[in-house]
Amino acid sequence: MSQRNQTLGGPIVRQALKESVLKLDPRVMIRNPVMFVVEIGFAVMLLLIAVPDAFGGGAPVWFNVAVAVILLVTLLFANFAEALAEGRGKAQADSLKRSKRDVVAYRESGSGGLKEVPASELRKGDLVRVEAGQWIPGDGEVVEGLASVDESAITGESAPVIKEAGGDFSSVTGGTKVLSDWIRVRMTSDPGESFLDRMIALVEGAKRQKTPNEIALSTVLTSLTLIFLMVVATLPFLGGYLGVPLEVPVLIALLVCLIPTTIGGLLSAIGIAGMDRVTQFNVIAMSGKAVEAAGDINTIILDKTGTITFGNRMASEFVSVGGWSETAVAEWALAGSLQDETPEGRSVVELARRMGIAGDPSLAQSGEWIEFRAETRMSGIDLQDGRSVRKGSVDAVKTWVRQKGGSIPDDLDAKSDRIASAGGTPLAVALDERIVGLIYLKDTVKPGMKERFEQMRQMGIRTIMCTGDNPLTAQTIAREAGVDDFIAESRPEDKIAVIKREQAQGKLVAMTGDGTNDAPALAQADVGIAMNSGTVAAKEAANMVDLDSDPSKIIEVVSIGKQLLMTRGALTTFSIANDVAKYFAIIPAMFMAAIPQMDALNVMRLDSPMSAILSALIFNAVIIPLLIPLAMKGVAYKAQSSARLLRRNLLVYGLGGVIVPFAGIKLIDLAVMWMV
């Protein structure tokens, strides 16, 4: 899935053409009542061609053939639209299948050794070891170790991610590759049940179900079809009373033109294309219902750690104490972090180097590294020249300094309290018996979050951040991120309570999260988006998975949901408005011979009754493929009020649905007259 914006290439179009013929099977067509009626009409026309006197005859054979051909083309165009939308999903599925690999796994045996087995033999609960250069054999949780993992086969992003035991970044996906170090992984899925397998099934559409709005619209279209069917069925009796014989081909043409064939032919394509557009933004939707619901979202609940913030405490500032310079603090903090592979340690190295301090690597290589331990709450290095560097919690470092006979700087407590009151974590840095300064660690907000939340505000969406942090820390992060509200010291049940409270007010709620503690809330929300970097439990509970782990992606998801609803509404409006022009084309043609006054309704001045009927039928068929690009791409969405959107759609697709058919049918009539 390195490229999701797949174009409609030759192979997809050729396969769609083949599928459009195969979908003529009545067992398939009956799922779409509108087009099934058209197919019945086509079957009746074939009977009339074979037996011209059937149903009383009356129409020329050439006219019957022309109507049959146009009806067949109408069916093929409608099937082609659906097959084309499905084809893009299948192309993405094929891309995913190519990323699946028959890899070798190194499973731990009962004796403690490693046994080489095919990945297909692994079962849930098995423990495997994956080293640099090896592929992860299946979905799992890191239980030991830390490694850089290439997830480009799944996410399309070339930048590697760090996976480590514990926390919200322990989930790994089968088919990804370890680039450095090693990890010990516990399998969380059996063969055929992995995240990649589910993604393939989803994009192929195997589990796609109609959404509530799609079902409602299908019911409306079916009802309109039945109404027009009853109306057309009564016309022969009316014609007999007036002395106007109405041939079966003319009645079929009238029925096909009046029932909403345009939206009926494009309805499935619109829904499938909506899910496809979500995948183009590296979001996998478990159902079309989730995409549709996203279009009506009022409130978004966001987990802080790993969602709004990176989830790791990162060094943001060096604070000097006791008269030492900031540069000196950075130099000794760097010396004590060169062999520290924790996220905090790496962030210290990165911050020092951004300040232009490279440090002396030989100091770390020649010294004895002191690992962090829960008992000491410190780490550091003992240098060959006898000096010792320590960094850790302020209390632990103060105790260590006092044991060495040193004194505590007067400004240490005040500056460490300032960092803590701002929601950060202070780490003290000591050189022998002297504390030189503090490292200001804080959970950093992901870049661009404030701007994205402002966009949500303009779309009328309220953002609420939930975090287990204390109120002061929560307030600091909320202010930096720009969310509308926050809930501090929240537990999993608190998140669910917030969602239920919003839903009780008639609002649709979205939830983004990545941790196991977010799973209940993700399941409760109308739209639950789990970060791909998160835990298996979170991804199982959600109905969408963001492969890029970017919580602001909800903006694209909401826009696509609104696009999906607007596209259905726009094409339904256009389809029904088309009937006005078709009415003025066919009704006068049917009754003009017996009722000359009906000529006043022939506002398009069509050449003859036969050409009028054929022109309306041809337009009815041709408009479907012309609207396929709009159905696939969706109506352009702009953040504005519902009233303005409604006015725009009525003006463009309502008025356009009346004007375009008048012009189109007239041009087709001129062409038909010229050919005849």
b/e sequence 541-557, b meaning 16+ C-beta within 10 Å? bbbbbbbbbbbbbbbbb
Asked if 509 and 462 count as a contact pair (C-beta separation under 8 A), the reply is no
For residue 128, is it left (φ>0), alpha (ψ between -120 and 50) or beta?
A: beta
Query: pLDDT tens, 159-182?
Result: 577 787 765 567 787 878 888 888
Q: What is the DSSP letter of 194?
A: S
Half-sphere exposure of 246 (CA within 13 A, CB side): 25
User: Is 644 buried (19+), middle (13-18) or exposed (0-12) by CB count in 10 A?
Assistant: exposed
Predicted pLDDT at 604: 76
Q: Under 8 Å CB-to-CB from 422, ≥6 apart: which residues?
A: 442, 472, 476
pLDDT reading at 208 higher than 60:
no
Query: pLDDT tens, 549-564?
Result: 776 677 788 888 888 8
Integer Cα distance of 404 and 385 in angstroms = 17
pLDDT reading at 6 higher than 50:
no
**Residue 373 annotated as binding?**
yes
Predicted pLDDT at 3: 40
**Tokens 């010990």 sit on residue:** 184
**Tokens 């030991």 sit on residue:** 144
**Tokens 């966009």 sit on residue:** 455
**Residue 36 annotated as binding?**
no
Q: Under 8 Å CB-to-CB from 640, ≥6 apart: which residues?
A: none
Integer Cα distance of 369 and 586 in angstroms = 90
**Residue 469 annotated as binding?**
no
Q: What is the DSSP letter of 599?
A: G
Using the Cα atoms of residue 400, residue 403, residue 408 and residue 414 in order, give the sign of their dihedral.
positive
**Residue 644 annotated as binding?**
no
**Residue 340 annotated as binding?**
yes
**Residue 375 annotated as binding?**
yes
Q: Under 8 Å CB-to-CB from 303, ≥6 apart: which residues?
A: 465, 466, 467, 495, 511, 512, 513, 514, 515, 518
Q: Report the chain's mean pLDDT, rounded to a whole number.
A: 80
Q: Where are the chain's structural domains?
A: 10-92+203-279+558-673, 286-308+446-547, 313-444
Predicted pLDDT at 239: 75
Query: pLDDT tens, 634-658?
Result: 787 776 666 777 788 788 888 888 8
Asked if 509 and 526 count as a contact pair (C-beta separation under 8 A), the reply is yes
The residue among 96 and 384 whose pLDDT is bigger is: 384
Asked if 262 and 624 count as a contact pair (C-beta separation under 8 A), the reply is yes
Active site residue 546: no
Query: pLDDT tens, 279-319?
Result: 777 787 776 677 878 888 889 888 776 667 776 678 888 99
For 608-662, the DSSP string reads: -HHHHHHHHHHHHHHHHHHHHHHHHH-----S--HHHHHHHHIIIIIIHHHHHHH
Residue length, the chain?
Answer: 676
pLDDT reading at 148 higher than 90:
no
Least confident range from 57-61, 77-81, 124-128, 132-136: namely 57-61
**Average pLDDT in the 260-287 region?**
77
User: Is 116 buried (19+), middle (13-18) or exposed (0-12) by CB count in 10 A?
Assistant: exposed
Least confident range from 264-268, 314-318, 626-630: namely 264-268
Asked if 287 and 541 count as a contact pair (C-beta separation under 8 A), the reply is no
72 pLDDT tier (thresholds 50, 70, 90): very high
**Residue 514 annotated as binding?**
yes
Alpha carbon distances (Å) from 569 to 50, 217, 309: 41, 9, 38
- CATH of region 286-308+446-547: 3.40.50.1000
Predicted pLDDT at 437: 92
The residue among 676 and 484 whose pLDDT is bigger is: 484
The residue among 16 and 330 whose pLDDT is bigger is: 330
**Residue 518 annotated as binding?**
yes
Predicted pLDDT at 93: 60
**Average pLDDT in the 458-476 region?**
79
Percent of the chain with pLDDT over 90: 4
Predicted pLDDT at 62: 84
**Average pLDDT in the 256-278 region?**
80
417 pLDDT tier (thresholds 50, 70, 90): confident
254 pLDDT tier (thresholds 50, 70, 90): confident
59-67: list long-range contacts, CB under 8 Å, 24+ apart. 59/247, 59/248, 59/249, 59/250, 63/249, 63/610, 63/614, 64/249, 66/614, 67/249, 67/252, 67/253, 67/613, 67/614, 67/617
Using the Cα atoms of residue 271, residue 277, residue 282 and residue 283 in order, give the sign of their dihedral.
negative
Integer Cα distance of 395 and 408 in angstroms = 11
Predicted pLDDT at 578: 83
7 pLDDT tier (thresholds 50, 70, 90): very low
Predicted pLDDT at 251: 86
CB atoms within 10 A of CB 659: 13
**Quick one: how far is CA 589 from the chain centroid?**
49
- Nearest 5°: CA angle at 535, between 534 and 541? 100
User: Which two three-digit tokens encode residue 383?
Assistant: 């240098």
Choosing among 3.40.1110.10, 3.40.50.180, 3.40.190.10, 3.40.50.300, the CATH entry for 313-444 is 3.40.1110.10
Predicted pLDDT at 195: 66
**Residue 121 annotated as binding?**
no
Integer Cα distance of 630 and 358 in angstroms = 56
Measure CA of the first residue to CA of the last residue in the chain; give whole Å: 52
pLDDT reading at 586 higher than 90:
no
Least confident range from 152-156, 225-229, 438-442, 598-602: namely 152-156
Integer Cα distance of 419 and 424 in angstroms = 5
**Average pLDDT in the 346-363 region?**
81
Percent of the chain with pLDDT over 70: 86
**Residue 374 annotated as binding?**
yes
Asked if 78 and 266 count as a contact pair (C-beta separation under 8 A), the reply is yes
Half-sphere exposure of 312 (CA within 13 A, CB side): 17
**Residue 404 annotated as binding?**
no
The catalytic residue among 126, 168, 197, 303 is 303
